[in-house]
Amino acid sequence: MSQNNNKSSNNIDEKSDKYVPPKIWIQDKESGGKFSSINRPTAGARHNKELPVGDAPLQLYSLNTPNGVKANILLEELAELGIKEAAYDAYKIDISEGDQFGSGFVAINPNSKIPALVDYSGETPIKLFESGAILMYLAEKFEKFIPIESGQPRANCLSWVMWQMGSAPYLGGGFGHFYAYAPEPMEYPINRFTMEVKRQLDVLDRHLKDNEYLCGNNESDYNIADIIIWAWYGQLVLGKLYDAAEFLQVDDYKNVQRWAEKIAERPAVKRAVDLVLEPIV
């Protein structure tokens, strides 16, 4: 018997019928769930695949998931302002087909997650990955949708941006995975992550009680904090994620609902959520 399996060959305690973690984890079977066929404990390219490069200064490689929609929204908001330097081409990275593990994409993002972006406007292309980094880079480059000067308004914006980066994995990788994608329902993880997601919604609801947007009450206060949080939590309370609106009782969060509905009516946001992405061939 292997050292890794103290009780039985499949790590089940024969007396209690409970899973017992081995001393050393090995991947000896698929994990199960929607994305099990592409999940591996290793990074790096799995196949050679060049990425197309269009004529626009910005090249976006993404998918219209919550993380991908963030970049779509900001780029469309910049287009709404008529900023020609923010023109972009958008290409589809089909994560269910493993496009994110192509050599061209991995060269931009070694973490193989969408979105990724390359700025070709200067002498040397600038590669970016992680949605927060992309939004901050673009907002600062064009001095739109972010307070530029040091002070409380900028601190508020960056604080809420980082709140989303730390919180959304509990919503997506935690609640979303176990509620919608796991091979079978499991009470403990669903309860654990449901409790945390509802706590996060309460954080937002309490804050938005006295704020039209995340960082203030004026139209000029709408910024990347709203964009990055709306892509996850706004779409969640509007019933767009995981078919979980009733389960989470999202109607209880009246202030989040009002904020989410207002942002959803913006022309740039409407275009962004249904953005047509060119396939890579």
- Kind of pairing, strands 58-62 and 88-92? parallel
Give per-residue pLDDT as tens, 209-264: 999 999 999 999 999 999 999 999 999 999 999 999 999 999 999 999 999 999 99
Q: Which residues are CB-contacts of 120 (< 8 A; sequence separation ≥ 6)?
A: 53, 57, 58, 59
| The token pair that represents 138 in the structure block | 């673009």
What's the average pLDDT block by block, 10 residues per block, for the chain (281 residues)? 42 75 88 77 95 98 98 98 98 96 98 98 98 98 98 98 98 97 95 98 98 98 98 98 98 98 98 97 89
Q: What is the pLDDT of residue 28?
A: 85
Burial bucket for residue 79 (CB in 10 Å: 0-12, 13-18, 19+): middle
> Nearest-CA neighbor of 103 among 45, 63, 24, 158?
45
User: Do the Cβ atoms of 180 and 244 come closer than 8 Å?
Assistant: yes
Q: Phi-psi category of 239—alpha, beta or left, where left has phi over 0 and alpha has psi -120 to 50? A: left
Q: Parse the chain into domains and list their residue ranges.
A: 152-266
Cα–chain center distance at 92: 15
Q: Does domain 152-266 have CATH number 3.30.70.270?
A: no
Instruction: Provide the terminal-to-terminal Cα distance of the chain, rounded to the nearest Å.
Output: 48
Please report which residue ranges of 61-118 form alpha helices under DSSP H: 66-80, 103-108
Instruction: Output the pTM of the full model.
Output: 0.92
Other beta carbons within 10 Å of 224: 29
